[in-house]
Structure 1
Amino acid sequence: MTDSSNLKNQVLHSLKWVALGKVLTQVIRWAITFWVIRLLLPEDYGVVAMADVFFSFLTLFIGSLFTPALIQSKELTQKTLKQIFGMIIMVHASLFVLQIIIADAVGAYYQSDIVASILKVNAWCFLILAFEIIPAALLARNMEFKKVSIISAIANISAAITTLVMAYLGYGFWALIFGEIVSISLRTAMTLFISPIKYLPSFKFSEISALLKFGGLLTGHATLAYIFLHMDVAIAGRYMSAVEIGLFAIGLQFALMPQKKLLPLLKQVAFPAFSKIQDQPERINSYILKAQKFSLLITVPVFWGLASVVDLIIPIVLGEKWVDAVIPTMIILLVMPLRFCEELFGPALKSQRKVKHMMINLWIMIAIMIVSIFLGIEYGATGLAMAWAFGFPVAFIIVVYRNTQLFNIKFSTVARLFIAPCCAGLLMLLAVFGSKQFWVDISLVNLIIQMIVGGSVFLFLLFILDKKSIFELKNIIKSND
């Protein structure tokens, strides 16, 4: 069997286990999440979203500093691992102290003592996460995603149940915080059990300068990526009420649910796979185009389909108190396929160590989105969503053009991939919104009818416009059975 076939089979096998773990847990977790949202208030999600801007930034910072370098490195000795472990402990301890110290200042910025209290509690997560990074990175490096999926499933379901119980008992926003702490603690404990650290940390760092340089570049990129993805709440939290922030946060959370489950699945497998063929540009280009094509075949019907029926889903699933989140959610969902496609370039760029190129891309997107956010901020949650609808497509075109030039792919080749799924998606939207003239009541029956109408129209039109891609996707899935 050729190396190409081996890699393909390894990638498909890994995707199968990652996907299986996601599917089995997400049905349960989504059901619990929707139940929790019904129990909590918009302001609960508002204060958590504001606190999460700072906590998630620090979490992303340390994740980008070590994990990609461990996965991408061609050779790892125990001496190197011991020095990385020592560096991880120093960095995590420093961030724990930093968050405790700066919590009150962040709370003062948002004019909320609750935000400060949340940051002081979840700061302890940094001390726990210090023991997960190396074992988790080694499991990913070896593409042992069956083990990773089982660990993730147990941790996520346990966290969801904890959140639900605490929300039901009236703990409000603390239910969300302690649910996350349970998830991190369980995931770390199980990862250590499966892949234990059998050496002590070393605080001499002579062997890891190259790794830290690469990790440092990725950390700079991750910092910009975080600013890009969270600057809407960071900016709006200063000028808008917790209720408005909560409505936007729930709209964003609802819109991101499919992406948060699909995209990490692909990226988790794609980066190690691209790293294995980093010296074969033609194969990389082929995988990039296939990833873009098949992502559009999946994300357009998923996100645009949800956008067409979210006016029924939110009142039915979340309750009438969240009805003001319908329009922001619908707008964000329409933009999500572009966000998905843009991020799919990341694993290939990282495998080629094109971190500076990625950082320039982010600076471009940040500049465009800052203007859009300040233009939309006075219109509340809907204005923030409109900022994404108008700003991101412009940024997307510029960034994708830069990426295609880097990989020597014609921009028109990528653009053509959008034609069939987007045309089918637009007609799907028209069909669903047309059906609302006949099925107007907010009910589960009407929701199911409209979903069937939309799905049928999309599949029929895609079969007419690009049936070759449908059969190709079917064969890829079938080949891994």
Structure 2
Amino acid sequence: MTGKDNINKQSVSAVKWSALGSIAQYGLSLGAQIVLARLLGPENYGLFAMGLIVLTFSNFLSNFGFAWGLIQIQNLTTEDIRFAFTWQLISGGVVAAALYVFAPEVADYFKEPRVEPIVRWLSVACVISAITAPASNLLRRNLDFRWINIIQIISYAIAYLAIGIPMAYCGFGVWSLVAAWLAQAIIMLIMSFIRYPHSIKLLFWYAGAKSMSGVGLTVFVTNLCNWVLDNIDRILLGRFLDSHAVGLYSVGYNLASTPNKLLIGALQPAFLTAGAKFQSEPERLRRVFLPVIASVWVLITPLFALFAIIAHDLVGFLYGDAWQSTAVVLAILALSMPVYITWAMSTPILWNTKGKHLESLLQLPIIVLAGWAFYTFAHQGVVVVALVAAGILCVRALVITTAACQRLKIGVRHLSPSFARGWAMTLLVTFGSFAGVELGEWVNTLFSVQLTAMSGQGARELIARASQHILPLAGGILLGCGVFVVVLQRFSGLLGHHVLGMLARFSPRFVSKIQS
């Protein structure tokens, strides 16, 4: 087996483990967040979301980007690791101290004094995440996604199931979320270092420091731009509206973006790491990029369309009436998630074709546009903010994907067949999901009529509430997924050779079966 074949095999294995881990994490996090949302309500979630906005920004500052260079650098040395760890520790400590000191100003900005102690406690996470980054990125460099996912799943399970939910049940409110977040960060630090122990001897400068610092600075600027675009909606929403509105928007945003982030977490690191080994071979990158984008459009977009169709009944069933206003937010943002994945899978192309500076440079005008749009419309409520957020995601995807395609000499004629196939699949699944929801509502109405003649008033109301969302939700999922499966098995030609080739990499038996 050649070195390149071995890299391909490792990349496929990495994506498989990432996909399995993502599914497990999604199920675990969804269950935990549903329980916590029902126990805590929108207001507590809004308070935590305000603190979390500042924390994620601080994490970008504290991480700076030194540890990211451990993935990008081709010939890694012990000095590289020591240097990255040293400056991650320093930047994390400085940012944590600044966040602690300026917590009152953060609370004043959001006009919510209860945010101050939350921010101060969360500042501890800046140091923890900063010194965890070297070991985590060394695992990514080795494509050890099996253990990366094991660490994430175990840390989340302990933090939220053993700490967060019991504290919420006992009445600790928002502090149950703070405690769970810190606990997960500590557990991830310990497990990552156990899996990939490295020197923690400080090193402030060495011969290769300039190169490592250059990568770190580029990552820092890029992450800063991405952070602004990913969080400016909640920054201004928290300023103009109250914690209740922020909670409603945040839960809808998280519910829509969690599967999206897990998919990106499964695909992007492996794609970036493998692509770093093919930096001088744009043709190989091109042959990988086209199937990836085709798979996003043809396989993933229809499922997010299904997600949007069932949003109303999903929120009603999982979260209850107190959260029903978040359903529209969920539906709007779910429809925009495929373009977000398209953007995320395009950025590694820029990084691996000597255009790492382009991601931040191209997004600077979009930051200005987003700032104006959110500042202008944030006071009009969560639905309008969701529409603006979806529009900004589309602009980002268009700009970054166009730049990536230009660097690989990919034209419209290469992309249009996959785009058309994606639209066809999405329309079919949307029709199936919508028909399923309507069928479920009709059955629910018929069931309620039958129930009226058979039961007493209290029993009728109880059963009616229980079945109000279950039947439409089940109908939408079953018929939508049913259409998806039928197309895969009976009309596989609709998928196109790029998608079939991608599926063959991960499940040759499945592709052989549907093509036979």
- Mark yes or no: TM-score above 0.5: yes
Q: 2:116: which partner in 1?
A: 116
1:181/1:298 Cα in 2 relative to 1: closer, same or farther (>3 Å)?
Answer: farther
**Structure 2 residue aligned with 1:443, among 449, 469, 480?**
469
Deviates more, 1:270-279 or 1:358-367: 358-367
Q: 1:229: which partner in 2?
A: 230
Deviation, 1:145, is 2.0
Q: Are 2:347 and 2:404, in contact at CA under 8 Å, matched by a contact in 1?
A: no
Please give the alpha-carbon distance, in whole angstroms, between the structure 2 residues aligned to 1:321 and 1:262.
29
Deviation, 1:94, is 0.7
Matches within 5 A, 1:61-80: 61-63=61-63, 65-80=65-80
Q: Does residue 1:242 correspond to 2:243, yes or no?
A: yes
Q: Does residue 1:160 correspond to 2:160, yes or no?
A: yes
1:468/1:128 Cα in 2 relative to 1: closer, same or farther (>3 Å)?
Answer: closer
Q: 1:457: which partner in 2?
A: 483
Deviation, 1:467, is 5.5
Q: 1:305: which partner in 2?
A: 306
Q: Secondary structure at the match of 2:440?
A: coil
Please give the alpha-carbon distance, in whole angstroms, between the structure 2 residues aligned to 1:200 and 1:20.
36
**Structure 2 residue aligned with 1:472, among 501, 504, 512?**
501
1:394/1:88 Cα in 2 relative to 1: closer, same or farther (>3 Å)?
Answer: closer
Please give the alpha-carbon distance, in whole angstroms, between the structure 1 residues aligned to 2:112 and 2:426.
42
Please give the alpha-carbon distance, in whole angstroms, between the structure 1 residues aligned to 2:350 and 2:58.
23
1:233-254 CA distance string (max 9 Å, x none)? 1112111121111111111011
1:270-301 CA distance string (max 9 Å, x none)? 11101111111100111111111112233212
Q: 1:12: which partner in 2?
A: 12
Q: Secondary structure at the match of 2:324?
A: helix
Q: Are 1:424 and 1:457, in contact at CA under 8 Å, matched by a contact in 2?
A: no
Deviates more, 1:419-428 or 1:265-274: 419-428
Please give the alpha-carbon distance, in whole angstroms, between the structure 2 residues aligned to 1:214 and 1:392.
26
Deviation, 1:321, is 0.6
Please give the alpha-carbon distance, in whole angstroms, between the structure 2 residues aligned to 1:255 and 1:26.
11
Please give the alpha-carbon distance, in whole angstroms, between the structure 2 residues aligned to 1:282 and 1:341.
19
Deviation, 1:203, is 2.7
1:202/1:309 Cα in 2 relative to 1: closer, same or farther (>3 Å)?
Answer: same
Q: Are 1:12 and 1:480, in contact at CA under 8 Å, matched by a contact in 2?
A: no
Q: Secondary structure at the match of 2:439?
A: coil
Please give the alpha-carbon distance, in whole angstroms, between the structure 1 residues aligned to 2:38 and 2:114.
21
Matches within 5 A, 1:67-106: 67-106=67-106
1:409/1:471 Cα in 2 relative to 1: closer, same or farther (>3 Å)?
Answer: closer
Gaps of 5+ in 1: none
Matched-pair identity in %: 21
Q: 1:253: which partner in 2?
A: 254
Q: Give, as a single letter, the amino acid of the residue that structure 2 aligns with 1:99.
A: L
Gaps of 5+ in 2: 445-467, 511-516
Q: Are 1:365 and 1:392, in contact at CA under 8 Å, matched by a contact in 2?
A: no
Q: Are 1:372 and 1:391, in contact at CA under 8 Å, matched by a contact in 2?
A: no
Deviation, 1:64, is 5.1
Q: Give, as a single letter, the amino acid of the residue that structure 1 aligns with 2:44.
A: D
Q: TM-score w.r.t. structure 2 length? A: 0.88
Matches within 5 A, 1:356-375: 356-375=357-376
Deviation, 1:388, is 2.5
Q: Are 1:40 and 1:173, in contact at CA under 8 Å, matched by a contact in 2?
A: yes
Matches within 5 A, 1:423-442: 423-440=424-441, 441=444, 442=468
1:465/1:198 Cα in 2 relative to 1: closer, same or farther (>3 Å)?
Answer: closer
- Report the structure number with the largest CA radius of gyration: 2
Q: Give, as a single letter, the amino acid of the residue that structure 1 aligns with 2:304.
A: F
Q: CA RMSD in A?
A: 2.1
1:108-157 CA distance string (max 9 Å, x none)? 11111221111100111223234322222222112222222221221111
Deviation, 1:426, is 2.5
Q: Does residue 1:280 correspond to 2:281, yes or no?
A: yes
